[in-house]
Amino acid sequence: MKKIAVAGFQHETNTFAPQPTTFEIFEERGAWPELTRGESLIKRFSGLNLPISGFISACNHKVEPILWAAAEPGGFVENDAFELITNEIVDGIIGSRPDAVYLDLHGAMVTRKYDDGEAEILRRIREAVGYDLPIAVSLDLHGNLSKSFFDLADLVTIYRTYPHVDLAETGARAADLLSMALKKPLKKAWRRANFLIPVTAQGTDYQPSKNIYNYIDKISQNEVASIDLAMGFPPADIPELGPVIVAYDQSQKVANDSVEKVFKKLLEAEPTYNDRLVSAEDAVADAVKSINGPVVIADVQDNPGAGGTGDTTGLISALIKAKASDAILSMLYDPDTAEAAHKAGVGSEINVSLGGKYTTYSKPIKCKVLIEAISDGRFLFTGPMFGGSHADLGPVALLKIFDTSIRVVVGSKRAQNADQEMFRVVGLEPCQHKIICVKSAMHFVADYKRVSKNIIFATSPGANPCNLTEIPYKRLLPGIRLGPCGPSHGG
């Protein structure tokens, strides 16, 4: 048996987000598990839908766990956070003297100092242990893969679903690919497409992504050892942005040909991508008049899972203006209001300044609310993506806005609503309400499609811009298209 050093360091960085990502955020538990070290990682992550969990379960070699850390997507990773975690990983690898390394990374980390956090992690590992040690990496579908990163890694597997329900499966594929490469090194191929894809157009439950990823599954089973496509994460103003295809095989020709086949499929699909975006006002109007409920409205541009502040009030304002009946929203990031609700207690009526505290995209809503429920914010996820993982979102409260039938769940930590438990934590059962509003861009679909197929993607202003032509990019490579068939940057 070989010895495999195992570590994880995940962050999806939105360079337009106002809040920095500090070391303390990696340390604490939110929707993601807290920073975990050493042997406790084996038990802590057993059975979870995380890449490192899937790798450990599938690995038929001795695993040497070092560290795993992740933070809710947000602004630039602070230098001290990057240095502390990266140095601990590198030191752990040096100390374990492994035969190979597996890393559970994201692919879209940007720090105050480095455009490509993952490439810098690999560069430091290579500097410490050399270029002969095999390194396998699993990445998020939204990874922004640079050529430098690709050259530094021996093997890469990437999620094939969005919502990401195959995280553990992707880690397991990395374990299988590494076992294959330990017997005989694999050849590899890489290619980038020249257009960006909005996150709301990337969902693999929708076309054309559904067909593309079905094709990837097919040829990876029958033609090539491994092939994957990273769609990229557009809210990052860095040069190497855009979809990337990677393939691995014992034959260089097979790897090259497979990349070209998927690249052709991607280009053919370009005109058919649809961002599915409507205004918040139109989204609410459609939901109000719908007779087939419940209707789910996604507040996509304030998605904390893509760096949004989670506290914008545009969608709530649209609900109030339309006098929407029986509407619920979760989760609004507002620790001050959550604290005030806990102090006042269930049944109390208080005046609040709701949301709008951490961004210029919207203003607080000054209103009177009835406190209907409170919670410590600790619960077990049950949906397809996070299921089995324990969340800790701090004090949470359910507020009913006076003179409306609109209820808002406020929490003390930023977290996207990708699981119905983020309503149930305060006693709401989503399927029992006419309009369900979630702060998420796509991950919610995996759980909420069980409740309703009537899903609307709304563009209330927020820090996760989804209309790519409106993003003030300054550093993209000239000529890349801002969206499928969109205008060229710098053109």
- Residue-wise DSSP of 209-274: HHHHHHHHHHHHHHT-SEEEEE---SS---SS-S-EEEEEESSHHHHHHHHHHHHHHHHHHGGG--
Q: Are residues 188 and 77 in the same domain?
A: yes
Confidence check: pLDDT of 149 > 60: yes
| Domain final residue pick, 242, 272, 302 | 272
Confidence band of 1 (pLDDT split at 50, 70, 90): confident
Q: What are phi and psi of 252, to 5 degrees?
A: -65, -40
Confidence check: pLDDT of 158 > 60: yes
Q: Is 31 helix (H, G, I), strand (E, B) or coil?
A: coil
Mean pLDDT of 290-312: 95
Higher-confidence position of 292 and 97? 97
Q: What are phi and psi of 159, to 5 degrees?
A: -50, 145
User: For the whole prediction, is pTM greater than 0.85?
Assistant: yes
Confidence band of 491 (pLDDT split at 50, 70, 90): low
Confidence check: pLDDT of 141 > 80: yes
Q: Are 354 and 454 in contact (CB under 8 A)?
A: no
Q: Are residues 158 and 266 in the same domain?
A: yes
| Domain final residue pick, 272, 300, 326 | 272
Q: Are residues 83 and 195 in the same domain?
A: yes
User: What is the rounded CA–CA span in Å between residue 420 and residue 413?
Assistant: 17
In a domain, 104, yes or no: yes
What pLDDT does residue 292 have?
82
What is the DSSP track for 374-414? EE-SEEE--STTTTTPEEE--SEEEEEETTS-EEEEEESS-
Question: CA nearest 459: which of 241, 308, 244?
Answer: 308
User: What is the rounded CA–CA span in Å between residue 291 and residue 94?
Assistant: 62
Confidence band of 391 (pLDDT split at 50, 70, 90): very high
Higher-confidence position of 205 and 359? 205
In a domain, 262, yes or no: yes
434-462 pLDDT per residue, tens: 999 999 999 999 999 999 989 999 999 99
Q: Are residues 230 and 285 in the same domain?
A: no
In a domain, 421, yes or no: yes
Percent helix, strand, coil in the chain (nearest 5)? 30, 25, 45
Cis peptide before 163 (omega within 30 of 0): yes
Eight-class DSSP state of 34: P
Confidence band of 490 (pLDDT split at 50, 70, 90): confident
Mean pLDDT of 137-146: 98
User: What is the rounded CA–CA span in Å between residue 411 and residue 331?
Assistant: 6
In a domain, 241, yes or no: yes
326-336 pLDDT per residue, tens: 999 999 999 99
Q: What are phi and psi of 42, to 5 degrees?
A: -60, -50
The fraction of the chain above a pLDDT of 90, given in percent, is 98
Q: Are residues 310 and 258 in the same domain?
A: no
> What is the helix (H) or strand (E) element at residue 101, kind and residue range?
strand 100-105
Q: Are residues 231 and 350 in the same domain?
A: no
Q: Are residues 450 and 384 in the same domain?
A: yes
Report the Cα 397 to chain-centroid distance in Å: 25
What lies within 8 Å, CB to CB, of 132 at 6+ separation is none
Confidence band of 291 (pLDDT split at 50, 70, 90): confident
Cis peptide before 461 (omega within 30 of 0): no
In a domain, 478, yes or no: no
402-421 pLDDT per residue, tens: 999 999 999 999 999 999 99
Q: Are residues 397 and 265 in the same domain?
A: no
Q: Are residues 240 and 356 in the same domain?
A: no
Give the domain extent around 293. Answer: 277-466
Q: Are 487 and 481 in contact (CB under 8 A)?
A: yes
Q: Are residues 145 and 14 in the same domain?
A: yes
Q: Are residues 324 and 200 in the same domain?
A: no
User: What is the rounded CA–CA span in Å between residue 381 and residue 284?
Assistant: 28
In a domain, 484, yes or no: no
Q: How many domains does the chain have?
A: 2
Q: Is 355 helix (H, G, I), strand (E, B) or coil?
A: coil
Q: Which two tokens stand for residue 55?
A: 């790798």
Q: Are residues 128 and 266 in the same domain?
A: yes
226-236 pLDDT per residue, tens: 999 999 999 99
